[in-house]
């Protein structure tokens, strides 16, 4: 099977190059494997260009089999670029792109979801931990997990052309997560590690985002579902048209975490999601019994709730069960609404600029004035290239 090795020297703590030179390339060599191509990226977008070029070259000269392997040293953003470059190319229909990921990025959500680290802090300094997907490629080439794709389309006001769709394999979000990702890029130089996400979150925690949302069913659902903690299962949701404001709105695919220890959608593993569905985590402040109106004072006071509850994602996903204080002990409504569905529409309020940001795997896009976004899990991947991850 054709093999290309690519790493991004600029991601994470910038140690991809020495890690590949010292560990990955020698490991391949010790198994008698010489890659057809070895590339260190030199600029944004380069990984997509080289993998795309590699696939085209191989399939121009052979008709079958249409499988290639990519050893990719990066974070989620570089993988996002590769998927976005390749997925919509009609000439790559039916090609299988099998990825051996080496987690060299900052968050490494996809890798740490498939290879949950025993100790989050130590994980990325542990050479053997980082080589798990490469070892799966070397030792058991048949063992792969499919990587599902979400397609987000940016709709313009009537009469205008839509922008090119953006694909994601990890996270699609608006509200606090999109706002903090927008800020965190500016902090990358100063804070190369995970702390830049926390700093950016603190800066944005007091914002509420005015929008309305329509949840869309997956092909296997009659209607979108909501998590019912009492039965520990998903049940049909009576509410699928959600009115804001929103403090938090985030959906995931393929992952249960955004960082090794930040389990934002833990139910995607404990109650496995059927193909074609995404898990959506939402906080709407006006559901709180103590919030009377959308005022600056209420926003500032509510930031503490958002902060504390979302901190539960660092405690194994405790946010999923958090409640507002109520009449009796544990009687208030749930803070987090946890949905499972096929996708969603996000219609931002025209005057709320912050509500126009959408994050797809770290890439920030802005919805045009008067426009809206629609994100759906791809359910007809026939005619597209398929992505798979070597797993243990
Ligand atoms: N040689 C390069 N110099 C500068 N930037 C690069 C280079 N090669 C790739 N990039 C860009 O680096 C950015 C960051 O990469 P990536 O998202 O994979 O890492 P990360 O942000 O550290 O990790 P994560 O996404 O897991 O948090 C990507 O947008 C990619 O386009």
Omega of the bond leading into 245 within 30 degrees of 0 (cis): yes
- Which tens digits make up the pLDDT trace of 298-343? 999 999 999 999 999 999 999 999 999 876 666 789 999 999 999 9
Given this model, what pLDDT does residue 122 score? 65
Domain map (residue ranges) of the chain: 3-142, 150-377
Omega of the bond leading into 65 within 30 degrees of 0 (cis): yes
- Residue 328 CA, ligand 1 centroid: distance in Å: 49
Given this model, what pLDDT does residue 47 score? 97
- Residue 331 CA, ligand 1 centroid: distance in Å: 45
**143 strand-pairing partners:** none
Counting from 1 in the atom list of ligand 1, the atom nearest the Cα of 361 is 25
Q: Among the CATH numbers 3.40.50.10330, 3.40.640.10, 1.10.340.30, 3.30.70.20, which is that of 3-142?
A: 3.40.50.10330
Equal CATH topology for 3-142 and 150-377: no
Query: According to the 3-state scheme, what is the secondary structure of the chain?
Result: CCEEEEECCCCCCCCHHHHHHHHHHHHHHHCCCCCCEEEECCCCCHHHHHHHHHHHHHHHHCCCCCEEEEEEEECHHHHHHHHHHHCCCHHHCCCEEEEEEEECCCCCHHHHHHCCCCCHHHHCCCHHHHCHHHHHHHHCCCCEEECCCEEEEEECCCCCCCCCCEEECCEEEEHHHHHHHHHHHHHCCCCCCCHHHHHHHHHHCCCCECEEEEEECCCCCCCCEEEECCCCEEEECCCCEEECCECEEEEECCCCCCECCECCCCHHHHCCCCCCCEEEEEECHHHCCCCCCCCHHHHHHHHHHHHHHHHHHHCCCHHHHCECCCCCCCCCCECEEEEEECEEEEEECCCCHHHHEEEECCEEEECCCCCEEEEEECCCCCCCCEEEEECC
Given this model, what pLDDT does residue 202 score? 86
- Which tens digits make up the pLDDT trace of 36-77? 999 999 999 999 999 999 998 887 656 666 889 999 999 999
**Which of 6, 7, 8 best tests ligand 1's pocket when mutated (most atoms within 8 Å of CB)?**
8
Phi, psi values for residue 55, rounded to 5°: -65, -45
Given this model, what pLDDT does residue 197 score? 84
- Residue 79 CA, ligand 1 centroid: distance in Å: 9
Ligand 1 neighbours (beta carbon < 6 A): 8-12, 41-46, 74-78, 81, 105-108, 362
Counting from 1 in the atom list of ligand 1, the atom nearest the Cα of 105 is 23
Percent of the chain with pLDDT over 90: 73
- Residue 355 CA, ligand 1 centroid: distance in Å: 25
Given this model, what pLDDT does residue 93 score? 84
ipTM: 0.96
Given this model, what pLDDT does residue 327 score? 64
- Residue 68 CA, ligand 1 centroid: distance in Å: 23
Rounded average pLDDT over 181-197: 85
- What gap in Å lies between CA 1 and CA 67, rounded to an integer? 6
Largest distance between two CA atoms of the chain? 71
Does 3.40.50.620 match the CATH number of domain 150-377? no
Alpha carbon nearest to ligand 1 atom 17, residue: 77
Q: What is the band of 185 on the pLDDT scale with cuts at 50, 70, 90?
A: confident
- Residue 36 CA, ligand 1 centroid: distance in Å: 23
Please answer whether residues 148 and 254 qualify as being in contact, where contact means their C-beta atoms are separated by less than 8 angstroms. yes
- Which tens digits make up the pLDDT trace of 252-263? 999 999 999 999
Alpha carbon nearest to ligand 1 atom 10, residue: 44
Given this model, what pLDDT does residue 329 score? 60
Tell whether pTM > 0.90: yes
**Which of 7, 9, 10, 101 best tests ligand 1's pocket when mutated (most atoms within 8 Å of CB)?**
10
- Which tens digits make up the pLDDT trace of 249-292? 999 999 999 999 999 999 999 999 888 999 999 999 999 999 98
**Which of 12, 13, 44 best tests ligand 1's pocket when mutated (most atoms within 8 Å of CB)?**
44
- Residue 341 CA, ligand 1 centroid: distance in Å: 30
- Residue 88 CA, ligand 1 centroid: distance in Å: 21
- Residue 106 CA, ligand 1 centroid: distance in Å: 9
- Which tens digits make up the pLDDT trace of 119-160? 766 667 789 999 999 999 998 666 899 999 999 999 987 766
Alpha carbon nearest to ligand 1 atom 20, residue: 105
């Amino acid at each position: 099977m054709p093999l290309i090795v690519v790493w991004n020297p600029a991601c994470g703590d910038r140690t991809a190059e020495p890690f590949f030179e010292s560990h990955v390339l020698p490991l391949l060599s010790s198994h008698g494997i010489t890659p057809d191509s070895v590339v260190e990226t030199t600029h944004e977008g380069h990984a997509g260009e080289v993998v795309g070029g590699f696939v085209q070259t191989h399939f121009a000269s052979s008709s079958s089999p249409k499988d290639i392997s990519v050893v990719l040293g990066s974070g989620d953003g570089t993988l996002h670029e590769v998927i976005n470059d390749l997925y919509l190319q009609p000439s790559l229909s039916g090609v299988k792109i099998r990825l051996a990921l080496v987690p060299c990025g900052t968050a490494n959500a996809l890798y740490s979801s498939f290879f949950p680290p025993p100790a989050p802090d130590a994980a990325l300094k542990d050479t053997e931990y980082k080589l798990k997907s490469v070892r799966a490629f070397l030792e058991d080439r048949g063992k792969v997990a499919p990587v599902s794709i979400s397609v987000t389309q940016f709709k313009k006001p009537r009469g205008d052309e839509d922008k090119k769709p953006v694909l994601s394999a990890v996270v699609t979000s608006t509200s606090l997560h999109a706002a903090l990702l927008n800020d965190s890029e500016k902090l990358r130089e100063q804070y190369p590690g995970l702390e830049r996400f926390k700093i950016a979150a603190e800066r944005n925690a007091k914002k509420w985002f005015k929008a309305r949302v329509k949840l869309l069913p997956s092909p296997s659902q009659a209607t979108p579902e909501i998590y019912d903690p009492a039965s520990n299962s998903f049940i049909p949701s009576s509410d699928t048209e959600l009115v804001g404001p929103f403090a938090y709105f985030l959906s995931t695919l393929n992952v249960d975490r955004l960082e090794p220890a930040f389990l934002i959608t833990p139910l995607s593993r404990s109650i496995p999601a059927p193909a074609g569905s995404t898990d959506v985590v939402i906080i709407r402040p006006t559901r709180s019994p103590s919030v009377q109106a959308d005022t600056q004072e209420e926003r500032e006071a509510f930031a503490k709730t958002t902060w504390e509850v979302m901190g539960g994602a660092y405690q194994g996903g405790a946010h999923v069960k958090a409640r507002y204080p109520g009449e009796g002990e544990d009687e208030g409504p749930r803070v987090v609404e946890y949905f499972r569905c096929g996708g969603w529409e996000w219609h931002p309020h025209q005057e709320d600029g912050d509500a126009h940001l959408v994050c797809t795997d770290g890439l920030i896009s802005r919805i045009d004035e008067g426009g809206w976004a629609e994100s759906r899990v791809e359910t007809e991947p026939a005619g597209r290239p398929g992505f798979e991850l070597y797993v243990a």
